[in-house]
Amino acid sequence: MPQPEAQAIEVSQQEQAVLEHIVRQANNPQWLVTRAKIILRAAEGQSNRRMAAEMKLTRNTVRLWRERWQVTAAQRAAVTTEENPSRALRDRIEETLRDAYRSGTPATFTAEQVVQIVAISCEEPPASGYPISHWTPKEVAREAIKRGIVERISERQVGRFLKRGGP
């Protein structure tokens, strides 16, 4: 079954100069260099399949950056009218090639809960009815649940909180 043709990529001379500079510069992050190479090769007319094989990437990765480049073409074109177009163009190209924001999973515990858990560890254990001289994460977790600060929490999570911001 024939594969669909890859989108044609247009790169201006200024953009090509910036992309080539990104590829040549030794201190650029690898993700930026790889994505700049994808755009340069796409501008030469290479297929997604060939680029993916030569660069050891997936075709979806190549397709994603090819599409992202096309979507942001108008924004890059608007940069040439600014006062310092070369610096602004480089910034815009780097912004185009940067990963999109990903929010990740929402926090399980609020900052207030974390503060209350850490505060437990600052108290004297006998005052809470524990016959020990120092808190352990296991006892802090039990006490946090007993006080209704959280419904449940592992002792490992308590240990992370205490390591990060405890006494």
Q: Give per-residue pLDDT as tens, 99-154.
A: 888 888 888 899 999 999 999 999 999 988 889 899 999 999 999 999 999 999 99
Q: For the whole model, what pTM was predicted?
A: 0.62
| Cα–Cα distance for residue pair 84/100, rounded to 1 Å | 26
Q: Quick one: pLDDT at residue 118?
A: 93
Determine the residue type at 86. Answer: S
In contact, 36 and 16? CB cutoff 8 Å: no
Does position 166 have pLDDT exceeding 60, yes or no?
Answer: no
Could you tell me the two tokens for 62?
A: 């190549």
